[in-house]
Structure 1
């Protein structure tokens, strides 16, 4: 799947601006950004729930907008999906087997039994976690090629999250499906995605291969004798937190020359610590007013 120069306005307000990226076979891409940055609008525009203003979505180089049959290759799991919640798993199946010709009845029933669903109980009579798990089971039973999952971990307890993650990884491993996923649970996202796209102000301003970025980027905690952040640190490091006199920051390029220049400031502490996706998120969306400065 290729997203090419996709733009979308809500009224006169541009929400998505010239979005381009590719989702390859067997790949999981995470979309992260602060609330209101357009993640859900992006998903709904890709899948045609919202009409695009410009750009295209290509499946094997064919426009999704010109060949509507291609929509069967995509399953969009909206976190607000609830229009069939008063139906039971058995009564929901005919709707989706009509929409998805490759719907896998045996897989659907097998997974429902594995996770102890009552086949005749309306979905909205289950717990929130069970409802979320059901939606993922339904999605993967449709045998699509591309899955777009909007906040699939939202509000789930640890046990249900593990079940959902297991289903996602199993689908990618066995069927080489491709998944585009958003989540505020950055810890869970970090453990499953191949790439991360940062969405800010309607544009993708950074793309990361997580393995590569962790090899190149350094998270460091620092303490200096003077009660201020040295200029060389401010210039070359994104400070994400200040705790008392301890400064925590992200260096995208901590080469030998920069390292020696910082050591020349005679820091009391300059120590590398493990880098997480949450740190990368903070480095993009934290400004100086977001952390406590020295007094």
Structure 2
């Protein structure tokens, strides 16, 4: 799927500003941003729940707005504007079989039974966790080429969450589907993602291939003799946190020259620690007022 230069204004406010990215077959791509940044608007725009002000979405090289039959290659269930609220499991299956020509009814029923979801209750009667689980079952059963999941793990208990993640990973790896996903739980998201997009002020401000990042960028916890962060550190690192005298920073790289300059200021502690997706979030989206800096 290719998203090309899409923009969307709602109530005279620009929510999405010239967004472009590609989602490759068999890839899991995360969209990360602070609350209200436009992640759900992006998903709704891709799925044609919102009309685009500008840009296009292509699947197999074709504009899905022009070739509307391609919409069955894309699955997105809007948590707020949900058409299946009053339907029970069996009715929903029949409903989606009409929308998706490749809908796998046998897989759908088997997954429902395996996860012990009641067939006679309406979707509205499900708990939040049950709804989240059901959404993923419905998505993988649709056999859509692209799955778009907005906060899919919200409300799931630990055991069900592990089952759901396994189900998703199997679907992506074995069936070579693509997954576009957002979640507030970055620790969970990190275990799934191949790549992450950072959304800020309606734009994609950064893109990370997680394996490459972990091999190149350095997260370091530091303590200095003075209570001030040295200028060489401010210049070369994004400050992630300050707790007492312990400063944690993210360096794009630490060259031999930079390492030598840092050694000259004789830090009390300069220790590399594992980098996480949460660090990338903080490096791009944390403002100085979000934490207390040294005076």
TM-score, normalised via structure 2 length: 0.97
Instruction: Give, in angstroms, the shift of residue 155 of structure 1.
Output: 2.9
- 2:184 is paired with a residue of what secondary structure? coil
**Matches of 1:126 and 1:21, distance apart in 2:** 35
- 1:132 is paired with a residue of what secondary structure? helix
Task: Map 1:106-185 onto structure 2 (within 5 A).
Answer: 106-185=106-185
> Could you tell which deviates more after superposition, 138-147 or 126-135?
126-135
Instruction: Give, in angstroms, the shift of residue 79 of structure 1.
Output: 3.1
Show structure 2 runs of 5+ residues with no match. Answer: none
Instruction: Give, in angstroms, the shift of residue 83 of structure 1.
Output: 3.4
8 Å Cα contact 1:149/1:182 also seen in 2: yes
> Could you tell which deviates more after superposition, 128-137 or 157-166?
157-166
- Name the structure 1 match of 2:254: 254
1:77-117 residue CA offsets vs partner (Å, 9 max, x unmatched) = 33335432332111211210111111101100110111112
Alignment RMSD (CA, Å):
1.2
- 1:3 is paired with a residue of what secondary structure? strand
- 1:16 is paired with a residue of what secondary structure? strand
Show structure 1 runs of 5+ residues with no match. Answer: none
- Name the structure 2 match of 1:74: 74
**Matches of 1:252 and 1:292, distance apart in 2:** 23
Task: Map 1:14-25 onto structure 2 (within 5 A).
Answer: 14-25=14-25
- Name the structure 1 match of 2:36: 36
8 Å Cα contact 2:133/2:156 also seen in 1: no
**Matches of 1:56 and 1:87, distance apart in 2:** 33
**Matches of 1:123 and 1:62, distance apart in 2:** 34
8 Å Cα contact 2:129/2:154 also seen in 1: no
8 Å Cα contact 1:77/1:147 also seen in 2: no
8 Å Cα contact 1:198/1:205 also seen in 2: yes
- 2:52 is paired with a residue of what secondary structure? coil
**Matches of 1:207 and 1:220, distance apart in 2:** 21
> Could you tell which deviates more after superposition, 152-161 or 269-278?
152-161
**Matches of 2:281 and 2:37, distance apart in 1:** 13
- 1:107 is paired with a residue of what secondary structure? helix
**Matches of 2:179 and 2:269, distance apart in 1:** 42
**Matches of 2:261 and 2:250, distance apart in 1:** 16
- 1:259 is paired with a residue of what secondary structure? helix
TM-score, normalised via structure 1 length: 0.97
Instruction: Give, in angstroms, the shift of residue 247 of structure 1.
Output: 0.3
**Matches of 1:170 and 1:83, distance apart in 2:** 28
8 Å Cα contact 2:37/2:199 also seen in 1: yes
**Matches of 1:193 and 1:187, distance apart in 2:** 11
User: What is the total number of aligned residue pairs between the two structures?
Assistant: 295
Instruction: Give, in angstroms, the shift of residue 11 of structure 1.
Output: 3.1
- Name the structure 1 match of 2:50: 50
- 2:20 is paired with a residue of what secondary structure? strand
1:10-38 residue CA offsets vs partner (Å, 9 max, x unmatched) = 13221111111111111110000001111
